[in-house]
Every structure is written in C-alpha cells, then in structure tokens.
Amino acid sequence: MGRLKVNLCGLELDNPVIPASGTFGFGYEFAELYDINLLGTFSFKGTTKDARFGNPTPRIAECTAGMINAVGLQNPGVEKVIAEELPKLKQCFNKKVMANISGFAVNDYAYTCELLDKEEQVGWLEVNVSCPNVHGGGMSFGTSPEAAAEVVRAVKAVTTKPVIVKLSPNVTDIVAIAKACEDAGADGISLINTMLGMRIDLKTRKPVIANKMGGFSGPAIFPVAVRMVYQVANAVNIPVIGMGGVSSAEDVIEMMLAGATAVEVGAANLINPYACRDIINDLPRVMDKYGIENLSDIIGGVK
C-alpha cells in the first residue's frame, strides 16, 4: 500500500481518502460495518464549545445529483466529545483523527481548539469558518479574509497541532481568503464546504426544509470544487484537502491533479456507507489504468 501514501502537514497517511465531517459521525458507527483503520483518517462530526440541538426538521432535501442539508451543527459540545466520544473511538481506530471545529465567535474557536489540541488521538484541527459570526452581523467568518485570519490567529495562539482551515465556496474570491489564512499561520486549507441551495415543494408551495436554505453537496458540485481546489493550490504554499462531490477513485485522482494532497468524501457516505472503503480498494486499479506509480507524484500535476 506504499504507493498510496501521502504526507499531510507532517503526518503520514496510508492513503489520501478522508471521510468528511458530518458524514461519518465519530467513526465508531461505521466501525460496525468495516475496519475503519484502512482510511487515511477521518474528520469527525463538527464540534462546538457548547452542545447544540441543531435546526428544526425537516433538515434534508434530495436533489438531482446531490442533496441539501441544514442539520445545524448538532453535537454534544466539546467536553462531552472528549469525555465520551473519543474514548469510544479509541476502541476501534488506532490512527490520528481530524477534529472538526465550529464556532460563532473567535473565542469559541480558540476555546474548543485548545481543548482538542491536548487530546493524544487528535492529529489535525480542521477549523470550519463557514459559521455565522454572531458578533459580525451574522455573516460567516469565511466570507471575509480579515475575519478568517482573525480566527486562524486566535487558534494558532493556543494550539500546537496542524490547523487546517475549511473554506466556504459561497464567496466572491476564495483565493484571497485562503491566502489570508495562510498569512495568519494556517498549516493547510480544506475546500469546498457545501454550496448554498434550496428546494420548493410544488404541492405546499413552501421550502422543503424548515431552514428554507441549506448546504448543497453531492456529485453536482464536483466541477466547482475541482476549480476552486486548483485555484487555491496554485496560490498558497501549504497543503490543500479537496472535497465536494467526490464519489470514486477517479474523482480522488482528479482532485489530486488539481492540487489536493488529500481528499475528503462527504455525501457519498450517506448514500453508501462503504463508499470510502470501496474508493480506497479501487485506487490501485485506477492508478494502473492511468500509469500512476505513486499518488504523491501527481499532486498538483495540472498547471
């Protein structure tokens, strides 16, 4: 399996495939189906300082080649994640895990990251800046280079592990935001988070989900994700994790050619819980088909 290995912010992964946050729980749920140690790693459910019940239901809407969700960061809060979820994960996963962190104020991010940074199981901190800034009029931190950079500086001041900033595609210039995060000390960038979408029920003439709008994901957004990964990877000097509609080994290789060091798989896990396992198992076949000896050789192969 050596030909699948990649290095992400100084830590070696057996392969570049990472289930995305919000689609893989805290891991142990999927460990009942297969040995999750075959994964590169995974990004666990988005965690906030305090427990969150999430948005009202219905939260999910189906779309052509995708889905819309507005779960609302439902999670038990960082203290319970550390006390209850991580010990359960340790029973079935012997690799470093990626902690996904969300917040609604800069201090929230710093508090949550500082606690998770102390956990031996955590290898990387994936900081989601797509959350509404409650002190900034409700616009997400990730829509402003300055606001995103402020979060990065606050988190880096209280942590020692690699900080990977997860960016929203719902912006005018994602490259400017990525560069601002790099300048503020980010160790990596992950993108794209979900796009903003909406469905309307023709019978009721009302939005399908209670939140009206939600995050649009799935194969339909893959070309947008490849484009943004390419743009950001060519603008920064830190590793990029690509995601957005990835559902096959071919998609993983396309993302890596665009500049991704590793690749997250999201919505595909909700359709097929074995998606990541199947993608990893299929990578050697696809590599042979396209004459690829080692995956690390093709990162950023398209200029």
Taking the C-alpha atoms of residue 19 and residue 42, their distance in angstroms, rounded to an integer, is 5
Q: How far is CA 34 from CA 38, 92, 137, 273, 278, in A?
A: 9, 10, 44, 9, 11
Taking the C-alpha atoms of residue 192 and residue 240, their distance in angstroms, rounded to an integer, is 10
Residues 36 and 90: beta-carbon distance below 8 Å: no
The reply to whether 131 belongs to the active site is: yes
From 9, 131, 181, 276, the catalytic residue: 131
Phi/psi at 201 (nearest 5 deg)? -80, 120
177-194 b/e with 16+ CB inside 10 Å = b? bbbbbbebbbbbbbbbbb
Complete DSSP assignment for 213-260: -EEEESGGGHHHHHHHHHHHHTT-SS-EEEESS--SHHHHHHHHHHT-
Return the amino acid letter for 92: C
Residues 100 and 123: beta-carbon distance below 8 Å: no
Taking the C-alpha atoms of residue 280 and residue 61, their distance in angstroms, rounded to an integer, is 28
Among 11, 174, 33, which residue's Cα sits nearest to residue 96?
Answer: 11
Write out the catalytic residue numbers: 131
